[in-house]
Amino acid sequence: MHTKPHDLTQITLAVLFIGGLIIASFWVLKPFLSALIWAAMIVVATWPLMLKVQAGLWGKRSLAVAVMSLSILLMLLLPLTLAIVTIVENADKIVGWAKWLAESRIPAPPEWVAKLPLIGAKLQDFWQGYVASGLSDIAPKLIPHAEGITKWFAAQAGDLSLLFMQFLLVVLIAAILYVVGDEAAVWVRRFGLRLGGARGEGAVVLVGQAIRGVALGVVLTALLQSVIGGIGLAIAGIPLAALLTALIFLLCIAQIGAGLVMFAAVGWLFWSGDTGWGVFLLIWSIVVTTMDNFIRPFLIKQGADLPIVLIFAGVIGGLLGFGLVGIFIGPVVLAVSYTLLDAWVKAELKV
């Protein structure tokens, strides 16, 4: 039977046309791409919660979408607004602290420092070296940075309207996705099925599970650590507790941990002579910094049954490669790649 030969020119032009169409589409959507990605991640992560809210509101999807949209808007705006307002209102105080630090002197190390095993002698020599010179060589360098940071935040407060519009766009897209979420999920699963058969459809499901696992394990754990840590800072009387709470949240998201802020606050209390509050905050800090070792793996397993190391590597690598939204993109890419590679190695893929 004679078959019609393929028209190479037609195939080449068709591929070029489709490629150009895809590039043009991305170019048109470029101003909305960041908001679209954020909205999609938020909707996928909170979809089960939205269904529970809908069930509690007499099955009304419109009421559930309104509640979820307002909640997202508050969660986006409230922490950032409080942080910027706190820094702007305390700008003079922050610069004053930097100047006070430049003029202050470090007290002599206590006797028990030298008795510490392995590091005692070196730590004492290091400490005494700064006792002799004070902070005069270091702290003055902090003053311009403190002034620059406060001015930057003041400028951000002036551009808050632009940021507010970006958040509104995220919430608006999220509301649309909540409304059409069922149809969108079916379409995406069909696309995966069309692209890669049953394995492609499974990869689409895995993407949703990975996003939900990261949201539960990483974001929710960071939120719990920052809230509990902030309560401890406020009880101990640490200045700018609200700002430090926001900083703890960002550090936990970046997988650095709450210890950088919490133990610095403990040191500040001991430095100020508040030994009782210092001991209290030290115990509180140990609880806050260790709770993620138990809560995070449990929550991640609730969303996606994936190796914890894979999730952490995806979060950190995605954060470095794509910014804040990378905490979702990184684990999704690694999760899908790992699953497909694992299935291929186990000869589960059908050729």
> pLDDT tens-digit profile of 97-140?
555 555 555 566 666 666 666 666 776 776 666 555 555 555 55
Question: Is the pLDDT confidence value at 147 over 80?
Answer: no
Place of tokens 């030298």: 114
Give the pLDDT confidence score for residue 160 in this predicted structure. 58
How many independent structural domains does the chain possess? 1
User: 68-77, 177-186, 202-211 — which one is most confidently predicted on average?
Assistant: 177-186
For 278-327, strand residue ranges (E) read none
The verdict on residue 255 lying in a domain is yes
Name the burial class of residue 152, with classes exposed (0-12), middle (13-18) and buried (19+) by CB atoms within 10 angstroms of its CB: exposed
Residue 169 within any structural domain of the chain: no
Instruction: Let me know if residue 316 belongs to a domain.
Output: yes
The residue range of the domain holding 350 is: 198-351
Question: What's the pLDDT at 163?
Answer: 66
Q: How far apart are CA 25 and CA 121, in angstroms?
A: 64
Q: Evaluate whether residue 313 is within a structural domain.
A: yes
CA distance 122 to 111: 13
Residue 9 inside a domain? The answer is no
Tens digits of residue pLDDT in 182-208: 898 899 889 888 887 877 788 788 778
CB contact set of 317 (below 8 Å; sequence gap of 6+):
326, 330, 334
Question: Comparing 320 with 20, which gets the higher pLDDT?
Answer: 20
Mean pLDDT (the chain, rounded): 77
Q: Provide the token pair at 207.
A: 């993407």
Query: Is 216 inside any structural domain?
Result: yes
pLDDT at 52 over 80: yes
Let me know: does 203 contact 196? Beta carbons within 8 Å: yes
CA 267 to CA 269: how far, in whole Å?
A: 5
pLDDT of residue 51: 92
Residue 213 resides in a domain: yes
User: Does residue 105 belong to any structural domain of this protein?
Assistant: no
Q: How far is CA 212 from CA 45, 47, 89, in A?
A: 4, 9, 37
pLDDT of residue 351: 43
